[in-house]
Structure 1
Amino acid sequence: MSRFIAWLDNHGELSYDFQSYYSGEVGRKAKRLYYERPRLGTLAVMPIIFSEAFVPSARRLFWKPQRIPIGDAHYAMGFAFLVEMSAQDRYYQRARHFLNVLEETRCPGYEEYCWGYPFHWETLLGTIPAGTPLITTVPYVFEAFQQVYRIDGDDRWHRVMRSIARHALNDYKDIPTSATATTCSYTPFPEHSLSVVNANAYRAYLLTNAAIEFSESKYRDAAQRNLNFVLEAQNEDGSWFYARDGKRSFVDHFHTCFVMKALAKIEALTGNTDCTAAIDCGVAYYTQNLFDEGGVPKPFSRAPRLTVYRRELYDYAECINLAVLLRGRFPKLDRRVASSLNEILARWQTPEGSFRSRQLYLGWDNTPMHRWASSQLFRSLCFLLRANGDGQTSNS
């Protein structure tokens, strides 16, 4: 990891992003047209798709490098893992640094601490404005503050955690989907989506964690209803569609990992046997359908559209995270993560220490992107090192 940390020191904490193509006015209009009038919109996005596939460095023509909170949260957790292994002050100071940054970059206009994206995000259901809280970001920030709090006991971090928990409980909308389940909104505004499975998994875990952390049952009650939605959304074959809205019925690698990570964490905290059953079925599907013949992650088992890449860094990061959480329970998963780790170390790190973002059909997208997914991979590798009980950071 020392090579990557040295690269991070030199490169800085701003980067381009997967969404850089679509964050500016031109890209967002093209994407909106694609959603509203697919045939005409396809013509509008074709130059962008061509650039993604063949000249990915051209994303700098569409938007600017930015700091994205979910990346800062992952870096904070990664450095915290290194502190837990080595007790080195330099890693502790880096972890605190990222928490300080997160305090400064919270969403404006909200009473409680919360975070989202610093760019406008064009989605199938409309534009999510910059600075809108996202339930898929907030739980990672909670974990980052919690992990450093476990190290230093600083009440400042605990106060932020309490605020995050209140935000997660009170600022998202819940809509009943069955007698025992509700689906939460992706943002505080329900029109932005009410049926995304991983969003409900994230919130269920955060609120379960908060219920135990603060000994408050109100968090547990809301968490259980979202958890029930996730459990009821699982398909008979063990997979989960991205959303239960009839429009986004694709199955991809890292969102599948997001769901099972949350279930594994809830299971670890509570011993919930329904989570255990869902994980057992989910891992069977995952290991059979979301890896290629070489045993490394593939992006989709059921794709929503034509893709311009063969492999995705994010998939590797989340594969490692999930496998560490479930280590020893599923031999096939353990073999898959071993193959994935070997490929990451052999092919995905550049000579200067950064990680490639995607393997394209022709060549690589070498643009380092903190959110997509350099920070996630850094955290997962540090998590793996900590789990291995290795007190020395590697030179990878």
Structure 2
Amino acid sequence: MPSASSLLPKSPSTLSSAAIAKTDIYKSIERLVNWLEERDYRAFDTFDGLNAKFVRPLTFNNPLLRIVLQQGVRRFPLNLRPLLGISPERSTKGMGFLARGFIRLYQTTGEEVWRNRAESMLLWLIENQSPGYSGACWGNHFDYQSRSVFVTKLSPSVVWTSLIGHVFLDAFEQFENERYLQTAISACEHIVKDLGTYSEDDALCIHYFPTSTHQVHNANTLGASLLARVASYTHNYSWRELAEKAILYTAKHQREDFSWYYGEESNLHWVDNFHTAYVLDCFKYYGEATGDDRFDRQMMDGYNFWKTTFFLPDGTPRYYNHKTLPLDIQCSSQAIDTLAFFRNRDPESLSLAVKVARWTIDHMQAPTGYFYYRRYSRWIVNKTPTLHWGQATMFCALTGLYKALRESE
């Protein structure tokens, strides 16, 4: 990997604070990429506990026992996975975030090595779709038990599919490869044909899984944002209309303090950092793709709530609206990414993004280069190396911030 010194000024004593930030961020990216390459882009996942081949039979296919195993593996401060027979793997969402990060590095540096790595991961994603559906879609490489539904391995998620679909659109816009646009179009076919919707007056909510009926706002808006963005290329009015109705659903459910619950079922009534950021990104994608500014007020009210609620003065990203702990790497990565994305709407966003990045690099990045999963306190740290939840999302976020800082010079 090219060193930071090949892209940035060499004498720290002569650098501005912005240049120092770029240097520190690039060095962090460099350490992380080296760690990922040494492991062939494989690591653990936060929710891979049901892959515990030595213990899974003891759950007797009982949903409660599956939750106990899955959450026990996730929450225990030490990484139990090697002892339980869980191996590090590539994940579809992780490879999607990595591909987006490499696209961003190529956009920033023009170096072909980054394009080659991005396109290699895009090919892997094309070859590792979930089979048996109406279009391109992606899911987990493990079974997952939620509070409300059991999702089998490879079952597609609108969250995974939409985020990866956005990456293929990024790639099409950058590389002008028609195959990437067709893959994003195919993902929309899956959303429309395989996922149901919940109707409420003149609004609709896109379901999370093909088997799900719950109203979850980040899932709904992610599906809507991809439909809107693809429709801007295909001029598919029905997709544009579905996106509008889905955005309308979430806009109507914005709370009095301008926040959103994670979901509308009573057991989904919490407000957290990164799911709120997902929703904000999606409102912005929708508006930019369609030119429809009717939801700008809800978006910016939500953004200001998020920005003033979820960060401490030093850039520490809080998890919930009512408490800071645990300090979770996903809160850091999505915060950095969303702040960089909103830089054309908020002149202060990049300075806060740098604060969050500095805090995260100082407190969550291991000397070997990877990022820890969580801090529960000053002394209790879960150092499990997770792929999509940590390494891939932080790589994507830091490359996005680095790109934004370079463009703001």
Any idea what SS the aligned residue of 2:263 has? coil
Q: Is the contact between residue 172 and residue 180 of structure 2 (CA under 8 Å) also seen in structure 1?
A: yes
Q: CA deviation at 1:295?
A: 3.7
The one-letter amino acid paired with 2:178 is D
Q: CA deviation at 1:110?
A: 2.0
* In structure 1, C-alpha distance between the alignment counterparts of 2:58 and 2:290, rounded to whole Å: 44
- 360-369 or 316-325, which moves further after superposition? 360-369
Q: Is the contact between residue 28 and residue 122 of structure 1 (CA under 8 Å) also seen in structure 2?
A: no
* In structure 2, C-alpha distance between the alignment counterparts of 1:264 and 1:17, rounded to whole Å: 29
Any idea what SS the aligned residue of 2:38 has? helix
- Distance change (3 Å), C-alpha of 1:67 and 1:340: same
Is residue 2:329 matched to residue 1:313?
yes
* In structure 1, C-alpha distance between the alignment counterparts of 2:62 and 2:340, rounded to whole Å: 37
- 141-150 or 238-247, which moves further after superposition? 141-150
| CA displacement, residues 156-206 of structure 1 (integer Å, 9 cap, x when unaligned) | 2222222112112221111211x21011211122xx233001111101101
* In structure 1, C-alpha distance between the alignment counterparts of 2:299 and 2:291, rounded to whole Å: 12
Q: CA deviation at 1:30?
A: 9.4
* In structure 1, C-alpha distance between the alignment counterparts of 2:60 and 2:252, rounded to whole Å: 36
- Distance change (3 Å), C-alpha of 1:80 and 1:99: same
What is residue 365 of structure 1 aligned with on the other side? 382
What is residue 61 of structure 1 aligned with on the other side? 83
Point out where structure 2 has 5 or more consecutive residues left out of the alignment: 1-28
* In structure 2, C-alpha distance between the alignment counterparts of 1:286 and 1:391, rounded to whole Å: 24
The one-letter amino acid paired with 2:179 is R
Any idea what SS the aligned residue of 1:234 has? coil
The one-letter amino acid paired with 1:183 is C
Q: Is the contact between residue 299 and residue 310 of structure 1 (CA under 8 Å) also seen in structure 2?
A: yes
2:112 corresponds, among 64, 67, 89, to 89
1:284 corresponds, among 304, 307, 314, to 304
* In structure 1, C-alpha distance between the alignment counterparts of 2:188 and 2:99, rounded to whole Å: 19
Q: CA deviation at 1:268?
A: 2.2
What is residue 368 of structure 2 aligned with on the other side? 352
1:248 corresponds, among 252, 264, 268, to 268
What is residue 186 of structure 1 aligned with on the other side? 208
What is residue 21 of structure 1 aligned with on the other side? 49
Q: CA deviation at 1:369?
A: 1.1
Q: Is the contact between residue 16 and residue 60 of structure 1 (CA under 8 Å) also seen in structure 2?
A: no
1:298 corresponds, among 308, 318, 330, to 318
What is residue 387 of structure 1 aligned with on the other side? 404
- 141-150 or 204-213, which moves further after superposition? 141-150
- Distance change (3 Å), C-alpha of 1:90 and 1:27: farther
- Distance change (3 Å), C-alpha of 1:197 and 1:27: farther
Is residue 2:125 matched to residue 1:102?
yes
* In structure 1, C-alpha distance between the alignment counterparts of 2:198 and 2:155, rounded to whole Å: 20
* In structure 2, C-alpha distance between the alignment counterparts of 1:287 and 1:27, rounded to whole Å: 44
What is residue 63 of structure 2 aligned with on the other side? 32
* In structure 1, C-alpha distance between the alignment counterparts of 2:289 and 2:63, rounded to whole Å: 41
* In structure 1, C-alpha distance between the alignment counterparts of 2:233 and 2:331, rounded to whole Å: 30
The one-letter amino acid paired with 1:182 is L
1:133 corresponds, among 156, 166, 169, to 156
Aligned length: 376
Any idea what SS the aligned residue of 1:273 has? coil
Any idea what SS the aligned residue of 1:277 has? helix
The one-letter amino acid paired with 2:402 is L
Q: How does 1:113-152 map to 2 (within 5 A)?
A: 113-152=136-175
Any idea what SS the aligned residue of 2:316 has? coil
What is residue 38 of structure 1 aligned with on the other side? none
The one-letter amino acid paired with 1:145 is F
TM-score, length-normalised on structure 1? 0.87
* In structure 2, C-alpha distance between the alignment counterparts of 1:31 and 1:296, rounded to whole Å: 38
- 279-288 or 310-319, which moves further after superposition? 279-288
Q: CA deviation at 1:53?
A: 4.1
- 7-16 or 92-101, which moves further after superposition? 7-16
Any idea what SS the aligned residue of 1:15 has? coil
- Distance change (3 Å), C-alpha of 1:59 and 1:26: farther
What is residue 39 of structure 2 aligned with on the other side? 11
Is residue 2:284 matched to residue 1:267?
no
- Runs of 4+ residues deviating >6 angstroms: 27-31
| CA displacement, residues 33-73 of structure 1 (integer Å, 9 cap, x when unaligned) | 279xxxxx8xx569927x83432x21333433222101101
Q: CA deviation at 1:122?
A: 0.1
What is residue 2 of structure 1 aligned with on the other side? 30
What is residue 48 of structure 1 aligned with on the other side? 72
Q: Is the contact between residue 86 and residue 391 of structure 1 (CA under 8 Å) also seen in structure 2?
A: no
What is residue 25 of structure 2 aligned with on the other side? none
1:203 corresponds, among 220, 223, 233, to 223
> What is the CA RMSD across the aligned residues, in angstroms?
2.6
What is residue 229 of structure 1 aligned with on the other side? 249
Any idea what SS the aligned residue of 1:67 has? coil
**How much identity, in percent, do the aligned residues show?**
21
- Distance change (3 Å), C-alpha of 1:387 and 1:337: closer
Any idea what SS the aligned residue of 1:326 has? helix
Point out where structure 1 has 5 or more consecutive residues left out of the alignment: 36-40
* In structure 2, C-alpha distance between the alignment counterparts of 1:242 and 1:318, rounded to whole Å: 15
What is residue 192 of structure 2 aligned with on the other side? 169
* In structure 2, C-alpha distance between the alignment counterparts of 1:28 and 1:240, rounded to whole Å: 34
* In structure 2, C-alpha distance between the alignment counterparts of 1:28 and 1:93, rounded to whole Å: 43
Q: CA deviation at 1:334?
A: 4.6
Q: CA deviation at 1:293?
A: 5.2
